[in-house]
Amino acid sequence: MAAGVEIINGAGSRSSSRQLSGRAGSFRDPSDVFHLSSVDADDEENLKWAALEKLPTYDRVRRAIIRHVVDNDREGRKFVTKEVDISKLGSHDRKVLLEQIFRVVEEDNERFLNQLRDRIDRVGLQLPKLEVRYENLSIKAEVHAGGRAIPTLWTTAINSIEGIFGSFALSKKKTITILDDVSGILKPSRMTLLLGPPASGRTTLMLALASKLDKKLKRSGRITYCGHELSEFVPQRTSAYISQHDLHYGEMTVRETIDFSARCLGTGTRFEFLSELSRRERHAGIKPDLELDAFMKATAVEGKKNNIATDYILKVLGLDICADIIVGDEMRRGISGGQRKRVTIAEMLAGPARALFMDEISTGLDSATTFQIVKFIRQMVHIFNGTVMVSLLQPAPETYNLFDDIILMSEGQIVYHGPQENILEFFQSVGFRCPERKAVADFLQEVTSKKDQEQYWMSDHKSYRYISSQDFSRHFKSFHIGQRLSEEIKIPYDKSKMHRAALTTEKYGVSNKELFKATLSREWLLMKHNSFVYLFRIFQISILAFVAISVFFRTTMHYGKITDSTKFFGALFFSLTSVMFNGFTELSITVTKLPVFYKQRDYFFFPAWAFALSNWILSIPVSFIESGIWMILTYYPVGYAPAASRFFRQFLVFLLINQLAGGLFRLIASIGKTRVVANSIGMCTLLILFVLGGFIIDKDDIISWWIWGFWSSPLMYGVNAVFLNEFLDPRWGASNPDKNIDAPTVGTAILKSRALFTNWYCYWIAVGALAGFTVVFNLLFMLTMTYLNPASNVQNIIRDDASSKTKKGPKSGNEHSPGAMLKIVQAYSRKIPSLCARTRPLLQYSSISRFGLVAVVFPLYEQKAAVVFPLQLYFLIFLITCFLQIMDNPPGDLKSHFRSFTKGGWGFSQLPTMDGPCPTALQWRSRSLHIHIKKIIGRNNCCQIDLPIV
């Protein structure tokens, strides 16, 4: 039985039920254009349903009755019902079915979900509920301090050496606490909002609960789902973590992306659930609504490339308008950023997960779209007993009000975890009050901040003192909500009440065969979308073939003598390297695929071997085409041995060399992980293969302790194979005239002079070696894709206290921090006589808000001016610059402070000057800033300066 998110996708969908004699509970309005008024049509429908009910359960669940509207010239518009095999439902039928269910998604979706729930409740089926607990959860990380965390060549080398000796306690790292002894319960049927400033530990908490935490982090504490430890089931498939980063293949359309997700993640227990539902309805004599019955049955079909669940998700998330547009990336124009975020959400909703952990889903979305998505999730949670935690940084008030529970985090501590209606009561008990016109979510973000906390202090009897996150956490434990939470955690979850379908115990959603078919189909789709790359490869090898023909044309290629072999050596080696190097594009293609692959592998979409094997299989036709083109264009024009058998043997070698190169470069890409590293390794590998390939340096000239490189070089076997195929041909069979070479024929003498193999059976040994290398490289590619983790771009940097203590002067510590710079401005404002008594206090109480803005008020040519600017360093520098420019005779030491901050990055000559009265409008663009200065006509005759980001 499915629940929660699974039901959203149609899993365990619920439809209204009705008795065989009537249609009570139908979600369609009687005035609907699809309403049947004909008694004969009703009788025909009932007869078809009665015949359907006589089928065995398996066949009955896979067949449904759907309605179509037919326009007839004589009878006008009328309904026609037909019985269909739901596994063969076409795109037109899916579209018609959804149009019958939804007319206005915002209005009809909740009613549709309620009708689904009514159908389930009518027969007494129970939906699974999932409770997630975390007790005394602490997470710590070991990081390098200061400059050691910056990825330079020196620090990377030193950190690697320390990593080797880390087990001997020689590594110098510092331990930081990300989560500090947090506990809580995520209950089913309740929407939980996770709030907190950046770096408060929200993402780490979600990753820990979804069992996707980095293995390098040290975790202590206990996480359970319905009382079961994470090792007792597969949490990655029971729950779904929706990342704040959007990783998708830019070449695929929105529909293709979600269809692939639905195909890999499977339908969970939908089929079993639907079979039980159908059996109970049949026993009770209940006839469900036909549209809802068809919808449920369509979502229970596995292995289909196109699923009605995808159409449903596209519709409710507003992606149906861009369903056939590519997602896009840095190099391709596709959907917008907000639509890409919705694709990320839809990709996880397409699966049967029963718990959702949604991290910063509002990134790139406007408030109205965020509200609609959260409202849709809320409907699912409340109707289908889902378990959802959503992390939002700055939710709008209407979005905030959709949540039932609030978790507020700060500095790795849980400040509050409980019902939304009690959170303001908690802070009032501490001494803080939310202003009437202040959004509650904004208040919660600021009340734990040291810079903003004081403005919310409400006590007249006690003087304000800073309340830290640890103090808030301790106070919450004594608050009645915190005490109730502690009591609930102490009571173990009753496992006997858990539904048998609540936890997923299988690693993948469908069989290995279906996963391989899905992955192979997706890779073939990507090949078609990237057809230009493969066409360019064919064009490139064709150009190289014509170059080879022009240099080594057959009229200049004489044979039969030892001196004639030089050009053939060059032609054959050039052919080998051209065919081999043409596979270098596999490196870039694989590196581009890695981020999405790692995400889908860790989400258990498919096993790594399915991805690796699909790429290998699809590369074989490409190798056939490229090697065939090279052979057709060059073999006879160059003038190689004319026998057809020699042609096909050389073709076999080139085919294996191309396959070998593709496997090798895919392996290098999986090891390097990034384009820069993989290209560097790839070029070095090619250099080593060419040098030790037996052509540039003969085997006899290689230093003895490097001879292992000769025998392990794949190119060496290719060189020997093509040379044996050519020089053992009868046309090189004349007697050897050179008595210094112990060989009977010219051909063997040529081979012996270059320290190559001389026996024909060595050709087949070389071919076997090339085939073996191809298999080994592709198997190693599978292993690296299975066990290696993605490259991390996140650098955890903390201050090196030992080094900072030795540094003094203006370059140390927080001397250049925005807060310190603001204090300097405030300090010097007291020294400026022109500041009147009314404006000086405003400047003194300027503050840094949680939105990253600083408000400073000062006089501008005896007029009051308000300046609002972002908190980043160069913005603040620019404010000080403007401050100096518009003030009469600014203090010299303030100028020196400014110069120490700028370090030559900004000059006075680059700034606008204002001679005379303030202009009505002035715009100045520099780097990434706009400055708007406008005169405000009012009682105080003020002018305002705004510095927004472009």
In tens, the pLDDT along 327-356 reads 998 888 999 989 999 999 999 999 889 999
Which amino acid is located at 232 in the chain? E
The whole-number average pLDDT for the span 703-727 is 91
Mean pLDDT computed over 481-497: 92
> Which residue matches tokens 């969970």?
268
| Least confident stretch, 139-148, 587-596, 845-854 | 845-854
Residues 6 or more apart in contact with residue 575 via CB below 8 angstroms? 548, 630, 634, 654, 722
Residues 6+ apart with CB under 8 A from 153: none
pLDDT tens sequence across 514-561: 999 999 999 999 999 999 999 999 999 999 999 999 999 988 888 888
Quickly list DSSP for 388-427.
EEEE-SS--HHHHTT-SEEEEEETTEEEEEEEGGGHHHHH
Per cent of the chain over pLDDT 90 is 47
Question: Does position 27 have pLDDT exceeding 50, yes or no?
Answer: no
- Write the Ramachandran bin of 181: left for phi over 0, alpha for psi from -120 to 50, otherwise beta: left
Task: Count CB-CB contacts under 10 A for residue 905.
Answer: 11
Q: Calculate mean pLDDT across residues 86-92.
A: 83
pLDDT in tens, 774-792: 999 999 999 999 999 888 6
Instruction: Report the pLDDT value the prediction gives residue 416, as an integer from 0 to 100.
Output: 95
Q: What is the pLDDT of residue 39?
A: 54
Ordered DSSP codes for 118-185: HHHHHTTPPPP---EEEEEEEEEEEE-BGGGGS--HHHHHHHHHHHHTGGGT----EEEEEEEEEEEE
Query: What is the residue type of 748?
Result: T
Query: Is 796 a residue whose pLDDT tops 60?
Result: no
Q: How many alpha carbons lie under 13 Å from residue 787 in its C-beta half-sphere?
A: 7
Section 373-380 average pLDDT: 93
Interatomic CA distance for residues 930 and 908, integer angstroms: 17
Tokens matching residue 449: 């901040």
Cα(392)–Cα(322) distance, integer angstroms? 25
Residue 643 has pLDDT above 50, yes or no: yes
CA distances from 832 to 71, 599, 825 (A): 85, 58, 11
Lowest mean pLDDT among 311-315, 687-691, 897-901: 897-901
CA distance linking residue 7 with residue 70, whole number of Å: 32
- Predicted confidence at residue 175, as pLDDT, reads 84
Q: Looking at residue 909, what is its pLDDT?
A: 32
Residues 87/3, Cβ–Cβ less than 8 Å: no
Distance of alpha carbon 146 from the chain centroid? 29
DSSP at 510: S
pLDDT above 60 (res 118): yes
Model confidence at 704, pLDDT cuts 50, 70, 90, reads: confident
Q: What is the pLDDT of residue 948?
A: 37
Q: How much is the pLDDT for 299? A: 87
Please give the DSSP secondary-structure letter assigned to residue 322: G
C-alpha 260/C-alpha 72 separation (Å) is 39
Coil, strand or helix at 701: helix
Neighbour order of strands in the sheet with 853-860: 853-860, 863-870, 943-946, 929-935, 921-926
Q: At 438, which amino acid appears? A: K
Give mean pLDDT, residues 362-382.
91
Structure tokens that stand for 620 in this block: 């074989």
Q: What average pLDDT does the structure give for the chain?
A: 79
Please give the pLDDT value at position 164: 63
CA gyration radius for the chain?
Answer: 36
Amino acid at 903: K
Alpha carbon of residue 748 to chain centroid = 58
Predicted confidence band of residue 74 (pLDDT cuts 50, 70, 90): low
Mean pLDDT of 816-840: 45
From the number of C-beta atoms within 10 Å of its C-beta (0-12, 13-18, 19+), residue 387 rates as: buried
4, pLDDT greater than 70: no
Instruction: State what percent of residues in the chain have pLDDT above 70.
Output: 75
Poorest-confidence range of 12-16, 352-356, 621-625?
A: 12-16
Per the CB < 8 A criterion, the answer to whether 908 and 916 are in contact is no
Q: For 71-78, what is the mean pLDDT?
A: 58
Is pLDDT of 33 > 50?
no
pLDDT surpassing 50 at residue 457: yes
Looking at 671-774, which runs of residues are DSSP E strands?
A: none
**Taking the model in full, what pTM does it have?**
0.79
102-116, 637-651, 801-815, 852-866: least confident range:
852-866
Looking at per-residue pLDDT, the higher value among 393 and 235 belongs to 235
Q: Which residues pair with 418 in a beta bridge?
A: 406
Comparing C-alpha atoms, which of 352, 517, 317, 365 is closest to residue 3? 352
The secondary element (H helix, E strand) that includes residue 240 is: strand 239-242
Least confident of 105-114, 242-251, 600-609, 870-879: 870-879
pLDDT band of 573, cuts 50, 70, 90: very high
Closest CA to 663 of 628, 620, 720, 607: 620
> What pLDDT score does 857 carry?
36
CA distances from 218 to 138, 259, 271, 729 (A): 8, 37, 40, 66
* Residues 564-576 as b or e (16 or more Cβ within 10 Å = b): ebebbbebbbbbb
pLDDT in tens, 163-221: 666 555 555 677 889 999 999 999 999 999 999 988 899 999 999 999 999 888 899 99
